[in-house]
A and B are shown apart, each in its own frame.
Chain A
Amino acid sequence: MTHTALSLRFAAPDVRPGAAPDFSQFQVPVAGEMPRPAIDATPETLRDLAFGMIRVLDDTGQAVGPWADMPDLTDDMRREGLRHMLKLRAYDARMLLAQRQQKPSFYMQHLGEEAVSCAFQRALRPGDMNFPTYRQAGLLIASGYPVKTMMCQVYGNDGDPVRGRQLPVFYSSKEHGFFSISGNLGTQYIQAVGWAMGSAIAGDDKIAAAWIGDGSTAESDFHAAMVFASTYRAPVVLNIVNNQWAISTFQGLARGGAGSFAARGHGFGIPALRVDGNDYLAVLAVARWATERARANLGPTLIEHVTYRAAGHSTSDDPSAYRPSDEDACWPLGDPVLRLKQHLIARGAWSAERHIQAEAEVMAEIAAAQRKAEAIGTLHSGRRPSPAEMFDDVYAEMPPHLRRQRQQAGF
């Protein structure tokens, strides 16, 4: 009998700071090559869609292949999509500067990931519910939620709808289909499946969208959500935003030996798509396909949005400590804003001059909203939530001991 000393694999990213960025192992399939199956196709016949990449915009800005076939999508709708992304980027830029002035204590930006949430929202209907994580504020922007209200939440001022009770960027709007955000990662994923099951049990026609990052798919909640979604065929779209980095942890640590995150769907019999997350039209196309399936009682769809977190995880993070500082510039899928801009110009529906003008208009709009928000207050000044409300909403009805505490506090 022979004895072999046992060993383990310790996964590590291809490069660390000091080395040149290297995406040579990252495959970028040709745009337009993936088939677009019927929405009632069986998961077994969709296997390749979890390992390839659905891409619509090619290198010249042309929309190509079966997923580009969206005859109702007018130039106005495409320009609106670009404007949503510009707005989200401008909002992030202003809030980042505001954080440096300590107007909020903390902020998280979307740089490089704007297409995912901005495009996905366009496939939803009023009443549908998102269970988002940190980098999906595009769901709010694209649904017309006021930027000023978002800023008030970030500042925790008296205009904040959640009354200074939540961290910056933890927005919540039932009306705009934005549940809330859990700081404890992953919990929202199983809750989204539960919400979708509740909608179906109640005989409603509203669907849910679950959101999670690549790193948090390691949480047990992700796997429990997949079991329930699969078993009950819940009307939910299960989104994984693979932005390559969970703070300093590269995506391979959570992915393990699987070729992609989308492949997680196969063991559960859930149709799974892997999409170019920096391609606005591709995200929109797969979002439409998946929501249509959910609405037709065909069950859940898993979508892996492949993108790149170009900035730090949050304002407290410095990514140059764990990845090459110029890695974002080498990301093979490019910038979602520039790619949609190139597409619109190629269609003759946009120009470089109009783009510069649009950027200026959007920035002026955001700056005006910021002045209005700051006229109410910031973290350290102005009108802030009253301590009188601090004891509200602990229970549906305020118990006597909380009423006494409020009175002792002088309210």
Chain B
Amino acid sequence: MATEILMPALSPTMEEGTLAKWLVKEGETVKSGQILAEIETDKATMEFEAVDEGVIGKLLVAEGTAGVKVNTPIAVLIGEGESADVAPAPAAAAAPTAAPASAAPAIATAAAAGPVEVKVSRSPDWPEGTAMKTMTMREALREAMAEEMRGNDRVYLMGEEVGEYQGAYKISQGLLDEFGPKRVVDTPITEHGFAGIAVGSAMAGLNPIVEFMTFNFAMQAIDHLLNSAAKTLYMSGGQMGCPIVFRGPNGAAARVGAQHSQDYAAWYAQIPGLKVVMPYSASDAKGLLKQAIRDPNPVIFLENEILYGKSFEVPVLDDFTIPFGKARIWREGTDVTIVSFGIGMTYALEAADKLAADGISAEVIDLRTLRPIDYDTVLASVQKTNRCVTVEEGWPVGSIGNHISATIMMKAFDYLDAPVINLTGKDVPMPYAANLEKLALVTTAEVVEAVKSVCYR
């Protein structure tokens, strides 16, 4: 019987890849474990082995094809003497995986209220009419670092795997070639050690960018971040500051378990002396990282692994920065204010689309920086909509949402028509299993439900 060989996922976050090279031909007999092809992911080029024995009936994807989605059939394996023409049948059967049938009537019922008009807000951070280009978050972060390193030779990058390996998540791609090993420094595996070295060098007048492979590992360096970087300027009576950026992926990725999935946004936002940035889009990531590198204070720059490969429009400008403490209104709305940041924006924006179809007009605000935080934009919005839902992936106790709610209560209590709802991850360490992980994170459906609840719908 013919079996389809599917495009493999070679890492937990891989969604697509390039089929670089076929190492087998049609008609060739293959053994289990034999290398069939070379596949390029955004991280590496890897070999792909046969699982079953058989004859290669057909190669469905030509070598050199980029953007092949995981689980796409790439070849057909047949038994001895079988015809390859039986192949396409299972592919056709697998194709229709559109929305489940039950979804249709639900939308129809809700649509009776009439969909609302969607007003997408323009970013205020660059002049109207600026040319834009599409870029991933990964590319934007690299450009920000490269531009700042070209402009100031005291800026350097250090961390595990940032040089030869081009970054564990390929954020520092090409930087070693351009700037050399003295400015793109591979370190021994000691977060405690290299964070201390970087803080010391910042106090000596350099501008280090420290990459943590994930912010979970920064726990081993936390003494340097809080007790030294954040407090020394104050303790030295203003004599010794620490111009440094600590950056890297933060929060959950996919299937990386309890010790690699924590969101530290609320933790760092609590510390005076630090500035805390958590971008959602590539343009914000670029403008805010450039701003962070120029800032004379220690900046915690929280990225997200899932967002690294996501594309956004980024302005084509020689030099642009985005000031800290200015939220961005992604969608204007009248019925409810959804406040989020980082990857939480994904759920907030998806929910706003679904709610629009249900006749609820949601205003979606991306805080972008958590210290300083833009209270004014949030308060002005709540005074207009009278309702608020906050969305983040971190844990419920002491969350950013708690803080936003308290501020609204203190400053705009009389404007509220419903209690603010804080949506967060569940109060458990992140489980590994896919079904449990999904449950532990905040979801678009929860955002939709919460908004309907504050709207009494």
Contacts and interface: CB of A to CB of B under 8 A. Distances in A.
A301 B92 CA distance: 63
B432 A167 contact: yes
Contacts of A316: 10-12, 43-44
Contact of A379 (B45, B259, B433): B433
Nearest to B257: A167
A219 B190 contact: yes
B124 interface: no
B12 A247 contact: no
Q: Is the interface on chain A under 10, 10 to 19, 20 to 34, or 35 or more residues?
A: 35 or more
Interface string A141-172: 00000000000000010001001111110100
Nearest to A399: B427
Contact of B257 (A97, A165, A394): A165
A359 to B, nearest CB: 13
Among A160, A218, A402, find the residue whose CB has the most chain B CB atoms closer than 10 A: A218
Interface string B182-216: 10001111111100000000000000000000001
7 contacts: A97-B49, A156-B432, A168-B432, A219-B220, A220-B193, A253-B186, A384-B435
B161 A247 contact: yes
A394 B189 contact: no
Interface string B78-91: 00000000000000
Given A97-B49, A182-B259, A185-B189, A166 B43 contact: no
Contact of A321 (B10, B45, B189, B434): B45
Among B217, B220, B431, find the residue whose CB has the most chain A CB atoms closer than 10 A: B431
Contacts of B49: 96-97, 100
Contacts of A405: 426-427
Interface string A176-192: 00000011111100000
Interface of B: 8-12, 32-33, 43-46, 48-49, 51, 70, 160-161, 164-165, 168, 181-182, 186-193, 216-217, 219-220, 254-260, 426-429, 431-436, 439-440
Given A166-B257, A166-B432, A316-B43, A249 B11 contact: no
Given A167-B255, A219-B192, 4 more contacts: A160-B433, A247-B161, A316-B10, A322-B165
Interface stretch (A56-64, A283-291, A385-393): A385-393
Contacts of A79: none
A106 interface: yes
Nearest to B165: A248
Interface of A: 8, 10, 16, 93, 96-97, 100-102, 105-106, 156, 160, 163-168, 170, 182-187, 215-216, 218-221, 246-249, 253-254, 315-318, 320-322, 379-380, 384-385, 387, 390-391, 394, 401-402, 405, 409
A402 B396 CA distance: 12
Nearest to A250: B164
B154 to A, nearest CB: 16
Given A100-B48, A101-B8, A322 B164 contact: yes
Contacts of B429: 165, 394
A405 B432 CA distance: 19
A249 B186 contact: yes
A100 B182 contact: no
A321 B165 contact: yes
A23 B164 CA distance: 21
B431 A102 contact: no
Given A156-B433, A166-B258, A247-B165, A97 B32 contact: yes
B219 A184 contact: yes
Contacts of B191: 219
Contact of A215 (B11, B189, B216): B189
B209 to A, nearest CB: 18
Can you list the 4 inter-chain pairs with the closest CB atoms, starting with the nearest?
A164-B433, A218-B188, A318-B44, A316-B11
Given A10-B181, A106-B12, A165 B431 contact: yes
A25 B83 CA distance: 56
Contact of A220 (B33, B192, B217): B192
Given A167-B256, A218-B188, A316-B43, A390 B431 contact: yes
A254 B305 CA distance: 27
Among A320, A321, A380, A390, find the residue whose CB has the most chain B CB atoms closer than 10 A: A390
Contacts of A247: 161, 165, 168
B51 A97 contact: yes
A248 B165 CA distance: 6
A225 B395 CA distance: 32
A102 B51 CA distance: 12
Contacts of B434: 156, 379-380
A315 B9 CA distance: 10
A405 B426 CA distance: 8
Contacts of A248: 161, 164-165
Nearest to B191: A219
Contacts of A170: 257
A391 B45 contact: no
Nearest to B51: A97
B432 A165 contact: yes
Contact of B258 (A156, A165, A218, A249): A165
A355 to B, nearest CB: 19
Contacts of A105: 9, 11-12, 254-255
A409 B443 CA distance: 13
A213 to B, nearest CB: 8
Nearest to B438: A387
